[in-house]
Amino acid sequence: MDPRRLPGAHRRPRQRSRALVAVPLLLILVVTVVDILAPPEVHLGPFLVAAPAITASFGGPRMTAFVGVVAVAAQSLVALARTSLTDLNHTLQITALILISAIVTFFAHHRERHEKEMTQLRSVAEATQGVLLRALPQQIGPLRIASVYLAAEAEAQIGGDLYAVTRTAHGTRLVIGDVRGKGLEAIGDAALVLGAFRAAAHRQAELPVLVADLEGAVFSDLGVPGTSRDEHTERGETFVTAAVLDVPDTERSLHLVSCGHPPPLLLRDGRVTPLKVSQPAPPLGLAEFAPADIAVESYGFEPGDVVLLYTDGVIEARDDSGAFYPLPERLAAWSGHGPQDLLRHLCEDLLAHSGGYLGDDAAMVAVQRLPGVPLHQPPGGTGSAR
C-alpha cells in the first residue's frame, strides 16, 4: 500500500503534453496576428522565442522542435507581410529564433533522457523492494497485519528502514528496524538484518538468542577488513535500531526486546500506551561499546488490541511550523477498523502534516490480535500495558 499513489495522481505524460502544446501554439498565433497588424515601428517577433522555451518545460525534443519550426515559419510570414525575408531586422530575429529553438530542443532531449533513467531506477528500486521487503501476509496465525514503507526520496522507493514477520512453532515473531545512514550501504545493512532474522527467527527458542544472532550478524559485517566501510566510516558510526517482538499464539501477551528503537504503541479501547522498556538493549552493531544483558519485557495483548510499530521517520516528520508529527494523538483519534484502514489513515495524515515531504524514510507495521483463538494468561510478566 502506497498512499502517494492516489487515483489520478499519475496521468499519462503524453496526454498531458499534447494538451499543453496548445498554449505555445496559441501564443504563436496571437503574436503573429498582432505583429502583422501592428504599426511599422512595433516588432513583436522576439516574443515568439517563448513558444519553444515553454514547450521544452513539458514536452520532448520532437515536440519542442516542431513548435520551434512553427515559430520560425510564423516569423517568416510576418517578415513577408511587413517587409521581406532579407530585411536585416527580420533576418536577425529569424536567426536568433532558430538558434534558441535548437538550444531548448537539446535541453528537452537531455531532460527526457534523465526522466527515462529515473523511470528505470524506480523500476529497479521497486524490484529491490519486492525482494528485500517482502509483502507481509494480511493474516498470520491469530494476527492481522498491515505494513507500509514511505521513502523520503521519490526516486529511491526504499532505504534503510526494514520490517519482517515469521512464524514459529508457538507464535509469530516480528522485527522493525532503522539503519543509521542512507544510500546503498544502508540498504545493504537492512538486507543483512532481514536475512539474519529470517534465517534464525523460526528456530531460536529464546528471544534474547535471536537478538544476539542479529547483533552478531551486524557486528561481524562492520568488522570485515578491507571494505569501503572501514576506509570511510569509523566503527560506531553505523548501527541499526530495532524492536523484536514475539507474540505467542496461546497467551494474552507479547514479548519485546528494544534495541534503541522508538517504543511500539498499543491501542486499546481508544487509549494509546507506549510500550517502553525499562532495560533497552543497545542498537545492533554497538554491543561492544555498551555491553548489556538482553532483557525481554512482556505486555498484555488482548483480542482486538492493535500494536503499531514504526521508525523515527514517522515521529520526526515536521509541519510548516517545525512541529513533529503527534503519532500517539493521531493514533488515539482513529476510529476505523483493521490494520489496513489504520495505516491508510495514518499515511494520509502524515503526508498532509508534512506537506507531502518526508525528511527521512518512514515505515509502519500494524498488528491486531484476532478474537476467537483459545488463550490463557501467562503467570506474571513485567511492563504489562493495562
Chain segment 355-367, per-residue pLDDT in tens = 988 888 899 999 9
Report whether pLDDT(172) > 80. yes
Percent of the chain with pLDDT over 70: 81
Residue 251 DSSP code: B
d(CA 279, CA 381): 14
Residue 381 pLDDT level (bands cut at 50, 70, 90)? very low
pLDDT mean over 60-73: 93
Q: Rounded mean pLDDT of the chain?
A: 83
Pick from 210, 76, 58, 184: nearest CA to 125: 184
Per-residue confidence (pLDDT) for residue 249, from 0 to 100: 92
d(CA 160, CA 239): 11
Give the model confidence (pLDDT) of 76-102 as tens digits. 998 888 888 778 888 888 999 999 999
Report whether pLDDT(127) > 80. no
Q: Sign of dihedral through CA atoms 64, 69, 72, 78?
A: negative
* DSSP per position, 114-133: HHHHHHHHHHHHHHHHHHHS
Please report, as a single letter, which amino acid is at residue 304: G
**129-138, 180-189, 332-341, 377-386: which has the highest mean pLDDT?**
332-341
Per-residue confidence (pLDDT) for residue 97, from 0 to 100: 92
Pick from 259, 252, 282, 208: nearest CA to 385: 252
**19-33, 130-144, 289-303: which has the highest mean pLDDT?**
19-33
Look at 181 and 258; give whichever has higher pLDDT: 258
Residue 191 vs residues 133, 172, 175: alpha-carbon distances, Å = 9, 20, 13
pLDDT mean over 316-333: 94
Report whether pLDDT(46) > 70. yes
Report H helices in the chain: 13-20, 22-37, 50-56, 61-82, 88-132, 183-200, 207-222, 228-232, 312-315, 327-332, 339-353
d(CA 259, CA 240): 8
Q: In this predicted structure, which of 41-45, 77-81, 169-173, 290-294 has the lowest mean pLDDT?
A: 290-294
